[in-house]
Amino acid sequence: MHANNQIHNALYLAFARQQWAELRKSVPLTLSESDLDDLRGINESISLDEVTDIYLPLSRLLNLIVGAKQQRGLVLNQFLGRVPPKRPYIISIAGSVAVGKSTTARILQALLRQWPEHPKVDLVTTDGFLYPLSELKRRGLLQRKGFPESYDMKLLVEFISKIKAGESLVHAPIYSHISYDRVADTQQAIEQPDILIIEGLNVLQTGQDTHVAIQQPFVSDFVDFSIYVDAEEPLLKEWYISRFLKFRTGAFSDPNSYFHHYSELNDDEATKIAANIWDSINGPNLNLNIQPTRDRAHLILRKGTDHMMHQVLMRK
């Protein structure tokens, strides 16, 4: 599936699911029943096998990597003879619409919090940095949501640079999937976490990928470790459609929902509309702007049917 396998092999170590699962090594399955309940609350469809085989080794890897960075920070301070501000370790999670970025991010958050070295783990999504709906309309971008030009990149880069600089309180705008818009009067407060996870379609993008010149620097300049969640497009489209069908009885049934009128649709009608949104917006965005950023990631998690990860690729 990779256009240039030779380059890929040179860049990444590839692990089949079972090989990766063995790398959990000494990480005990420290999850209590209540932890498991929390994880099920994040996504009831996620299996315990997925947590033990994929996420526990990943949590171990990230704990080691964050630890190495913290050590390096101590050495630097000793050398410079000063106490620097606490700077969060920043992990980014990229991938298509509906690949499961937010589920992956929330499970990682829950697992990373359990390590005594980094108990405070915050999570933001770049959805909040989409322009407000009125601005998208003004710019004629309603059919381009999720494309690079639909984000306020200046605001996003300002946000992440403040986090990286160790500012004690930084605010992020919040997006509502119900109103399909930025929330007007509430913001998310980020107060010097040990780790910040930032999740979104665009976290690996630079100006070079797109027809739109995005000003430098890029989000990835501030990110310590990047993850790309990958799956073949037919699966992504299927997951997008099935989430859309589920939303009819969930989010869309809310009278405040932007898509409230979809709640009345039968399965066939809803499938057609979702497939059409995929083919006209999310699919082209994947192929033009998201997938081309995949091979910049430090780690690629490859999913197959039923959201099962079947391969992990790690930068050498």
User: What residues line the site for ligand PAU (CB under 6 A)?
Assistant: 97, 127, 145-146, 201, 277, 281-282
How far is 238 from 244, CA to CA, in rounded Å?
10
Residue nearest to ligand PAU (CB): 146
Q: Which residues bind ligand ATP (CB under 6 A)?
A: 43, 45-46, 50, 95, 97-103, 239, 243, 307
When the beta carbons of 145 and 302 are compared against ligand PAU, the nearer one is 145
CB atoms near residue 53 (< 10 Å): 21
83, burial (CB in 10 Å: exposed 0-12, middle 13-18, buried 19+)? exposed
Minimum CB–partner distance for residue 272 and ligand ATP (Å): 19
Q: In this structure, what DSSP letter does residue 266 have?
A: -
Ligand-binding site membership of 98 (annotated): yes
How far is 220 from 218, CA to CA, in rounded Å?
5
Residue 199's nearest CA partner among 116, 132, 105 is 105
When the beta carbons of 45 and 77 are compared against ligand ATP, the nearer one is 45
Ligand-binding site membership of 100 (annotated): yes
Minimum CB–partner distance for residue 284 and ligand PAU (Å): 11
Minimum CB–partner distance for residue 310 and ligand PAU (Å): 24
Determine the residue type at 149. Answer: E
Ligand-binding site membership of 102 (annotated): yes
How far is 310 from 242, CA to CA, in rounded Å?
21
Which H helix or E strand runs over 48?
helix 48-50
Alpha-carbon Rg for the chain in angstroms: 20
Give the contacts of 67 (CB within 8 A, at least 6 positions apart).
117
Pick what 188 binds: ligand PAU, ligand ATP, none; C-beta below 5 to 8 Å, kind-dependent: none
Residue nearest to ligand ATP (CB): 100
Pick what 100 binds: ligand PAU, ligand ATP, none; C-beta below 5 to 8 Å, kind-dependent: ligand ATP
Determine the residue type at 11. Answer: L
Pick what 307 binds: ligand ATP, ligand PAU, none; C-beta below 5 to 8 Å, kind-dependent: ligand ATP
Pick what 45 binds: ligand PAU, ligand ATP, none; C-beta below 5 to 8 Å, kind-dependent: ligand ATP
Q: Which residues line the annotated binding site for ATP?
A: 95-102
